[in-house]
Amino acid sequence: MAQQYGKVYLVGSGPGDPELMTLKARRLLDTADVIIFDQLPGEKILASMPEAAEKIDAGKHAGDHTLTQSEINDAIVEKAKEGKIVVRLKGGDPYMFGRGGEEAEELVKAGIEFEIVPGITSALAATAYAGIPVTHRDHASMVTFITGHEDPTKEETALDWKTLAAFGGTIVIFMGVKMLERNMGELMRYGKNPKTPVAMVERGTRPDQRVTIGTVETIAKISKDAGVKAPALTVIGDVVKLHEILGSQI
Ligand code: SAH
Protein backbone atom coordinates (compact mmCIF):
# COMPACT_ATOMS: atom_id res chain seq x y z
CA MET A 1 0.00 0.00 0.00
CA ALA A 2 1.27 3.39 -1.00
CA GLN A 3 1.15 4.85 2.49
CA GLN A 4 3.67 2.27 3.70
CA TYR A 5 6.16 3.31 1.09
CA GLY A 6 9.03 5.60 1.89
CA LYS A 7 9.86 8.70 -0.07
CA VAL A 8 12.45 9.51 -2.67
CA TYR A 9 14.34 12.76 -3.00
CA LEU A 10 16.06 13.43 -6.30
CA VAL A 11 18.75 15.70 -5.00
CA GLY A 12 21.16 17.89 -6.94
CA SER A 13 24.45 18.19 -5.11
CA GLY A 14 25.74 21.12 -7.16
CA PRO A 15 29.03 21.23 -9.05
CA GLY A 16 31.36 19.88 -6.36
CA ASP A 17 32.23 22.70 -3.97
CA PRO A 18 30.38 21.52 -0.85
CA GLU A 19 29.44 25.11 -0.02
CA LEU A 20 27.48 25.26 -3.25
CA MET A 21 25.09 22.58 -2.06
CA THR A 22 21.67 23.83 -1.00
CA LEU A 23 20.64 23.68 2.66
CA LYS A 24 17.87 21.33 1.66
CA ALA A 25 20.25 18.96 -0.11
CA ARG A 26 22.56 18.97 2.91
CA ARG A 27 19.71 18.26 5.34
CA LEU A 28 18.33 15.42 3.25
CA LEU A 29 21.75 13.87 2.75
CA ASP A 30 22.37 13.99 6.49
CA THR A 31 19.08 12.29 7.35
CA ALA A 32 18.53 9.77 4.53
CA ASP A 33 18.17 6.04 5.21
CA VAL A 34 19.59 5.18 1.80
CA ILE A 35 21.80 7.22 -0.54
CA ILE A 36 22.14 6.15 -4.14
CA PHE A 37 25.04 8.00 -5.70
CA ASP A 38 27.54 8.05 -8.53
CA GLN A 39 30.89 9.80 -8.80
CA LEU A 40 29.71 13.10 -10.30
CA PRO A 41 29.05 14.94 -7.00
CA GLY A 42 32.82 14.81 -6.43
CA GLU A 43 35.09 13.55 -3.70
CA LYS A 44 34.36 16.14 -1.04
CA ILE A 45 30.61 15.71 -1.10
CA LEU A 46 30.79 11.94 -1.33
CA ALA A 47 33.16 11.89 1.65
CA SER A 48 30.58 13.87 3.63
CA MET A 49 27.85 11.24 3.34
CA PRO A 50 26.82 10.14 6.83
CA GLU A 51 28.10 6.80 8.06
CA ALA A 52 24.71 5.68 9.26
CA ALA A 53 23.11 5.72 5.81
CA GLU A 54 23.07 2.72 3.52
CA LYS A 55 25.06 3.75 0.48
CA ILE A 56 24.60 2.31 -2.98
CA ASP A 57 27.17 3.19 -5.62
CA ALA A 58 25.28 3.32 -8.89
CA GLY A 59 28.54 3.93 -10.71
CA LYS A 60 30.05 0.68 -9.52
CA HIS A 61 28.58 -2.71 -8.99
CA ALA A 62 29.71 -6.32 -8.73
CA GLY A 63 32.71 -6.72 -11.01
CA ASP A 64 32.97 -2.96 -11.46
CA HIS A 65 30.04 -2.75 -13.84
CA THR A 66 28.08 0.43 -13.92
CA LEU A 67 24.43 -0.01 -12.98
CA THR A 68 22.23 0.52 -15.98
CA GLN A 69 19.58 3.19 -15.75
CA SER A 70 16.92 0.54 -15.30
CA GLU A 71 18.89 -1.11 -12.49
CA ILE A 72 19.21 2.29 -10.82
CA ASN A 73 15.47 2.87 -11.19
CA ASP A 74 14.80 -0.58 -9.72
CA ALA A 75 17.09 0.08 -6.75
CA ILE A 76 15.40 3.40 -6.00
CA VAL A 77 11.91 1.88 -6.22
CA GLU A 78 12.87 -1.19 -4.20
CA LYS A 79 14.32 0.82 -1.32
CA ALA A 80 11.35 3.18 -1.26
CA LYS A 81 9.01 0.20 -1.19
CA GLU A 82 10.84 -1.00 1.92
CA GLY A 83 9.63 2.22 3.54
CA LYS A 84 13.00 3.97 3.40
CA ILE A 85 13.78 7.62 2.88
CA VAL A 86 15.92 7.50 -0.22
CA VAL A 87 18.20 10.22 -1.55
CA ARG A 88 19.18 9.82 -5.17
CA LEU A 89 22.20 12.11 -5.24
CA LYS A 90 23.17 13.67 -8.54
CA GLY A 91 25.91 16.07 -9.59
CA GLY A 92 24.76 19.56 -10.53
CA ASP A 93 21.03 19.73 -11.12
CA PRO A 94 19.03 16.49 -11.45
CA TYR A 95 17.03 17.68 -14.46
CA MET A 96 19.98 19.07 -16.39
CA PHE A 97 21.30 16.14 -18.39
CA GLY A 98 20.99 14.13 -15.20
CA ARG A 99 18.27 11.67 -16.19
CA GLY A 100 16.32 12.95 -13.21
CA GLY A 101 13.23 13.29 -15.37
CA GLU A 102 13.33 9.61 -16.26
CA GLU A 103 13.77 8.60 -12.64
CA ALA A 104 10.89 10.84 -11.58
CA GLU A 105 8.65 9.25 -14.23
CA GLU A 106 9.50 5.80 -12.89
CA LEU A 107 8.55 6.91 -9.39
CA VAL A 108 5.21 8.22 -10.57
CA LYS A 109 4.61 4.91 -12.35
CA ALA A 110 5.48 2.96 -9.21
CA GLY A 111 3.21 5.15 -7.09
CA ILE A 112 6.06 6.38 -4.91
CA GLU A 113 6.08 9.84 -3.45
CA PHE A 114 9.05 11.93 -4.51
CA GLU A 115 10.47 15.42 -4.35
CA ILE A 116 12.96 17.11 -6.57
CA VAL A 117 15.70 19.22 -5.02
CA PRO A 118 17.29 21.41 -7.69
CA GLY A 119 21.03 21.92 -7.58
CA ILE A 120 23.37 24.48 -9.07
CA THR A 121 24.21 23.10 -12.46
CA SER A 122 27.86 22.91 -13.47
CA ALA A 123 26.88 24.83 -16.60
CA LEU A 124 26.49 27.93 -14.47
CA ALA A 125 28.90 27.23 -11.61
CA ALA A 126 31.92 25.75 -13.37
CA THR A 127 31.76 28.51 -15.97
CA ALA A 128 31.44 31.19 -13.28
CA TYR A 129 34.42 29.83 -11.34
CA ALA A 130 36.34 29.82 -14.60
CA GLY A 131 35.70 33.53 -15.03
CA ILE A 132 33.21 33.01 -17.84
CA PRO A 133 29.77 34.63 -17.45
CA VAL A 134 27.52 32.67 -19.82
CA THR A 135 25.72 35.86 -20.84
CA HIS A 136 27.13 39.38 -21.07
CA ARG A 137 25.65 42.51 -22.63
CA ASP A 138 28.58 42.93 -25.00
CA HIS A 139 29.10 39.30 -25.95
CA ALA A 140 26.06 37.02 -25.67
CA SER A 141 22.37 37.53 -25.05
CA MET A 142 21.51 33.87 -25.47
CA VAL A 143 22.85 30.62 -24.11
CA THR A 144 22.14 27.03 -24.97
CA PHE A 145 22.99 23.78 -23.22
CA ILE A 146 23.62 20.67 -25.26
CA THR A 147 25.00 17.18 -24.83
CA GLY A 148 28.13 16.40 -26.78
CA HIS A 149 28.10 12.72 -26.09
CA GLU A 150 26.32 10.90 -28.77
CA ASP A 151 26.98 7.43 -29.92
CA PRO A 152 29.48 7.83 -32.79
CA THR A 153 28.00 4.78 -34.51
CA LYS A 154 24.60 6.43 -34.70
CA GLU A 155 24.00 7.58 -38.24
CA GLU A 156 21.63 10.38 -37.41
CA THR A 157 22.73 13.01 -34.94
CA ALA A 158 19.97 14.32 -32.71
CA LEU A 159 21.78 17.63 -32.59
CA ASP A 160 21.03 20.20 -35.22
CA TRP A 161 24.59 21.35 -35.89
CA LYS A 162 23.45 23.71 -38.62
CA THR A 163 21.30 25.64 -36.19
CA LEU A 164 23.99 25.45 -33.53
CA ALA A 165 26.64 26.80 -35.91
CA ALA A 166 24.40 29.77 -36.70
CA PHE A 167 23.49 30.35 -33.05
CA GLY A 168 24.76 33.74 -31.90
CA GLY A 169 24.87 33.00 -28.19
CA THR A 170 27.03 30.94 -25.86
CA ILE A 171 27.00 27.17 -26.32
CA VAL A 172 27.73 24.99 -23.30
CA ILE A 173 28.40 21.35 -24.07
CA PHE A 174 27.99 18.66 -21.41
CA MET A 175 29.79 15.33 -21.77
CA GLY A 176 31.70 16.67 -24.72
CA VAL A 177 35.27 15.47 -24.19
CA LYS A 178 35.20 12.26 -26.18
CA MET A 179 33.47 13.73 -29.18
CA LEU A 180 35.18 17.13 -29.06
CA GLU A 181 36.96 16.83 -32.39
CA ARG A 182 33.86 15.65 -34.21
CA ASN A 183 31.67 18.29 -32.62
CA MET A 184 34.02 21.16 -33.45
CA GLY A 185 34.25 19.75 -36.96
CA GLU A 186 30.46 19.80 -37.28
CA LEU A 187 30.32 23.43 -36.18
CA MET A 188 32.96 24.46 -38.71
CA ARG A 189 31.32 22.40 -41.43
CA TYR A 190 28.18 24.49 -40.99
CA GLY A 191 30.05 27.77 -41.01
CA LYS A 192 30.93 28.56 -37.38
CA ASN A 193 33.88 30.95 -37.28
CA PRO A 194 36.88 28.70 -36.50
CA LYS A 195 38.40 31.53 -34.44
CA THR A 196 35.50 31.53 -31.96
CA PRO A 197 36.99 31.15 -28.46
CA VAL A 198 36.43 27.86 -26.61
CA ALA A 199 37.14 26.89 -23.02
CA MET A 200 37.27 23.44 -21.48
CA VAL A 201 36.48 23.62 -17.77
CA GLU A 202 37.45 20.41 -15.98
CA ARG A 203 36.25 19.57 -12.47
CA GLY A 204 34.77 23.04 -12.06
CA THR A 205 34.54 24.42 -8.48
CA ARG A 206 36.69 21.59 -7.15
CA PRO A 207 40.21 22.10 -5.78
CA ASP A 208 41.71 20.69 -8.96
CA GLN A 209 39.64 22.76 -11.39
CA ARG A 210 41.47 23.42 -14.63
CA VAL A 211 40.64 25.72 -17.55
CA THR A 212 42.05 25.12 -21.02
CA ILE A 213 41.55 27.73 -23.70
CA GLY A 214 41.54 27.46 -27.49
CA THR A 215 39.27 28.11 -30.44
CA VAL A 216 36.76 26.00 -32.34
CA GLU A 217 39.61 25.18 -34.70
CA THR A 218 42.31 24.42 -32.14
CA ILE A 219 40.62 23.17 -28.97
CA ALA A 220 40.48 19.48 -29.91
CA LYS A 221 44.25 19.25 -30.31
CA ILE A 222 45.00 21.51 -27.35
CA SER A 223 42.72 19.43 -25.12
CA LYS A 224 44.21 16.19 -26.29
CA ASP A 225 47.74 17.46 -25.63
CA ALA A 226 46.71 18.74 -22.21
CA GLY A 227 45.00 15.46 -21.33
CA VAL A 228 41.61 17.05 -20.68
CA LYS A 229 39.19 14.52 -19.29
CA ALA A 230 35.65 14.23 -17.92
CA PRO A 231 33.93 15.76 -16.09
CA ALA A 232 34.47 18.83 -18.22
CA LEU A 233 32.32 21.40 -19.93
CA THR A 234 33.02 22.92 -23.30
CA VAL A 235 32.10 26.59 -23.52
CA ILE A 236 31.94 28.18 -26.94
CA GLY A 237 31.52 31.88 -27.63
CA ASP A 238 32.95 35.34 -27.15
CA VAL A 239 32.24 35.25 -23.41
CA VAL A 240 35.24 32.92 -23.14
CA LYS A 241 37.45 36.00 -23.70
CA LEU A 242 36.39 37.22 -20.26
CA HIS A 243 38.33 34.39 -18.65
CA GLU A 244 41.50 36.39 -19.26
CA ILE A 245 40.10 39.42 -17.46
CA LEU A 246 38.11 37.79 -14.69
CA GLY A 247 40.40 34.83 -14.10
CA SER A 248 39.72 31.54 -12.41
CA GLN A 249 38.30 31.48 -8.92
CA ILE A 250 40.38 28.38 -8.15
N1 SAH B 1 23.34 17.29 -13.89
C2 SAH B 1 24.70 17.73 -14.13
C3 SAH B 1 25.19 17.27 -15.47
C4 SAH B 1 25.23 15.77 -15.65
S5 SAH B 1 25.92 15.27 -17.17
C6 SAH B 1 24.78 19.25 -13.95
O7 SAH B 1 23.75 19.91 -13.84
O8 SAH B 1 25.89 19.77 -13.90
C9 SAH B 1 27.62 15.04 -16.75
C10 SAH B 1 28.44 16.16 -17.35
O11 SAH B 1 28.25 17.36 -16.61
C12 SAH B 1 29.93 15.94 -17.33
O13 SAH B 1 30.36 15.11 -18.38
C14 SAH B 1 30.42 17.36 -17.52
O15 SAH B 1 30.26 17.78 -18.85
C16 SAH B 1 29.42 18.14 -16.68
N17 SAH B 1 29.89 18.41 -15.32
C18 SAH B 1 29.31 18.04 -14.17
N19 SAH B 1 29.98 18.51 -13.11
C20 SAH B 1 31.03 19.21 -13.60
C21 SAH B 1 32.08 19.97 -13.02
N22 SAH B 1 32.20 20.10 -11.70
N23 SAH B 1 32.96 20.57 -13.85
C24 SAH B 1 32.85 20.47 -15.18
N25 SAH B 1 31.88 19.76 -15.79
C26 SAH B 1 30.97 19.15 -15.01
Q: Does ligand 1 have an atom closer than 6 angstroms to the CB of 179?
A: no
Is 151 marked active-site? no
| Ligand 1 and 16: CB distance under 6 A | yes
Q: Which of 17, 21, 38, 84 is catalytic?
A: 38
Pocket test for ligand 1, best of 174, 206, 212, 223 (most atoms within 8 A of CB): 174
Average pLDDT across each block of 10 residues of the chain; the chain has 250 residues. List them in order: 83 98 98 96 96 91 74 94 97 96 95 98 98 97 92 73 97 96 97 98 97 98 98 98 94
CB of 93 closer than 6 A to ligand 1? yes
Question: Is the CB of 95 inside a 6 Å radius of any atom of ligand 1?
Answer: no
Distance 122 CA to ligand 1 centre (A): 5
> What are the pLDDT digits (tens) for 62-83?
566 778 889 999 999 999 999 9
pLDDT digits (tens, 9 = 90+) for 155-202: 667 899 999 999 999 999 999 999 999 999 999 999 999 999 999 999
The pLDDT of residue 87 is: 98
74 is annotated as an active-site residue:
no
Q: Is 38 a catalytic residue?
A: yes
Indicate the pTM of the whole model.
Answer: 0.95
Using most ligand atoms within 8 A of CB, pick from 124, 233, 234 the residue to mutate for ligand 1. 233
Q: Which of 30, 60, 208, 224 is catalytic?
A: 60
Q: Is the CB of 199 under 6 A from ligand 1?
A: no
Report CA(177)–ligand 1 centroid distance (Å): 11
Q: Does residue 14's CB lie within 6 angstroms of at least one atom of ligand 1? A: no
Residue 174 CB less than 6 A away from ligand 1: yes
**What pLDDT is stored for residue 151 in this prediction?**
65
- Catalytic-labelled residue, pool 44, 57, 74, 175: 175
Q: In the prediction, which pLDDT does 63 show?
A: 62
User: Which domains can be identified in the chain, with CATH numbers?
Assistant: 7-117 (3.40.1010.10), 122-249 (3.30.950.10)
CB 87 within 8 A of CB 33: no
